[in-house]
Structure 1
Amino acid sequence: MALTGRIRSGLPFFRYLLRSEATLSRRSIADRSFPSPNLAGSEGLRCFATKTKETEANIKIPLSLFGGTGNYASALFLAAAKANQLDKVESEILDVVEASKRSPLFSSFIKDLSIPRETRVKAVSEIFSEAGFTDVCKNFLIVLAENGRLKYLERIAQRFVDLTMAHRGEVKVIVTSVIPLPEQEEKELKQTLQDILGAGKTVKLEQKIDPRILGGLVIEFDQKVFDMSIKTRAKQMEEFLRQPLHFG
């Protein structure tokens, strides 16, 4: 059953907490004393790290991420890797993000810091135990609830996926065009990109449609942008034509 369905059917307790006027009307003192967004040394992350028992000696984070969301994503990667559950945890964390998009109730819950910390923690523990999540993912979500960082879940999940893709040697390539690429053109483009990236890398192509580029392609990967759109070419031509002429 999809996580959204499990949330909807599994916990009347959760709905009761969110609908309670008393719960929604007060903000806990702890909520106002959360650590700053740079959370590398926070108590929450240290507690989360202790929930996995193996050492980190042979585990390396494939990308250097910075900021609070990067710290959380890196901590989750280490815990999932040590538990040999990277794929499972990735699937679970993306399920939670999807549930937050589909369920207004759940979305409201993760964004509302007026809900006291102990209420958030209890609800998260109940929900994801009921949903059968791994201890790694469940404990991580509890840490986010404790620190009032559930509202950053989508961004943390995106950065976690960046890490898992890098770990698998996958490179996400976003191709923007006016219409979907024909199958043969997509295949040829993917092969060209594969040749550029070289052995040991796997191209993961994502197509986006944007009529505003007028035609051509915009290709993005590895923080590089190759803009071959008609819109950009037309702008470049316009700038060229506006330059003053110099006669010898």
Structure 2
Amino acid sequence: MAMAARVRSGVTGFTEALITDSLSTQRSTVAPALICSNFTNIEQSRNFASASAPKEPKIKVPVAMFGGSGNYASALYIAAAKAKALDKVESELLDFVAATSKASTFSQFMKDLAVPADTRVKAINEICAQAKFSEVTKNFLVVLADNGRLRHVDTIAKRFSDLTMAHRGEVKAIVTTVIPLPAEEEKELKETLREILGKGKTVKLEQKIDPSILGGLVVEFGQKVFDMSIKTRARQMERFLRDPINFDA
């Protein structure tokens, strides 16, 4: 994917700079226009989630989220929705997370709060320019860098994806099996879940392999967990056999 390649290129370039040069503690000049006025700090980020421009329809997040990561994800959702760029911002954010997760030096750089804020901001601006990210994504990452929140970007990205999926009427279901589900069984499972969820919902199935469940499957979606694994059934049978038998009953 071209976008992912550009992100990796930008991250790799900056990682090399980190290795060859010592981190500068001098403050760099960042044009105010680079940072969205509603993203300059976490407090303004929270205000942004509830504020709307005059005469504009109020945008609401499809799912209420709480905590620091939830606040940031909600603020980003509203900014992206206003810019009509939800899918683009989601793709860029996921590309950024995927690329940085493969660059151990840069990953450590993001987590190190001893790095001056301006150094983090400069790095993010360079990476976003290299990857040709949209203004919404760039401004948001700049805010995370400025506020020392880059270390939470993966969690924020996941919560943002939860919001965009809810917006599209998608529900993520995780199915755990011993071996990959055959295509026909995967199709049947999706149809069953659609019937449970009702019309207007699209099921996005994620498969996980876990030999420890011994057989059967475990399905998770929403707040529900259906454990039909052999491992769980064996434990239930074991508890049943250990219970004392009341012959008088």
Q: TM-score, normalised by structure 2?
A: 0.84
CA distance in 1, matches of 2:19, 2:55: 39
CA contact (8 A) 1:45 1:143 kept: no
Where 1:58 maps in the other structure, the secondary structure is: coil
CA distance in 2, matches of 1:159, 1:196: 24
Where 1:59 maps in the other structure, the secondary structure is: coil
CA distance in 1, matches of 2:23, 2:58: 48
Where 1:205 maps in the other structure, the secondary structure is: strand
* Worse-matched range after superposition: 101-110 or 134-143: 101-110
Any idea what the Cα deviations from partners look like across 1:104-135, whole Å, max 9, x if unmatched?
23212212222101111111112202321100
- Mapping of residues 225-240 of structure 1, within 5 Å: 225-240=225-240
Kindly state the Cα deviation for residue 43 of structure 1 after the two structures are TM-superposed: 4.0
* Worse-matched range after superposition: 15-24 or 194-203: 15-24
2:146 aligned with 1:146: yes
2:94 aligned with 1:94: yes
CA distance in 1, matches of 2:55, 2:152: 28
- Mapping of residues 16-31 of structure 1, within 5 Å: 16=17, 19-21=20-22, 23=24
CA RMSD of aligned residues (A): 2.7
Q: Which 5+ residue runs of structure 1 have no aligned equivalent?
A: 27-38
1:8 aligned partner:
9
Any idea what the Cα deviations from partners look like across 1:13-50, whole Å, max 9, x if unmatched?
774356543548x9xxxxxxxxxxxx9x834526977x
2:74 aligned partner:
74
Q: Which 5+ residue runs of structure 2 have no aligned equivalent?
A: 27-38
CA contact (8 A) 1:56 1:82 kept: no
Where 2:205 maps in the other structure, the secondary structure is: strand
- Mapping of residues 162-241 of structure 1, within 5 Å: 162-241=162-241
Where 1:21 maps in the other structure, the secondary structure is: coil
2:83 aligned partner:
83
Where 1:89 maps in the other structure, the secondary structure is: helix
CA contact (8 A) 1:120 1:146 kept: yes
* Worse-matched range after superposition: 5-14 or 83-92: 5-14
CA distance in 1, matches of 2:79, 2:19: 30
Give the percent of matched residue pairs that are identical in Structure 1 and Structure 2: 59
How many aligned positions are there?
232
CA contact (8 A) 2:46 2:75 kept: no
Where 2:59 maps in the other structure, the secondary structure is: coil
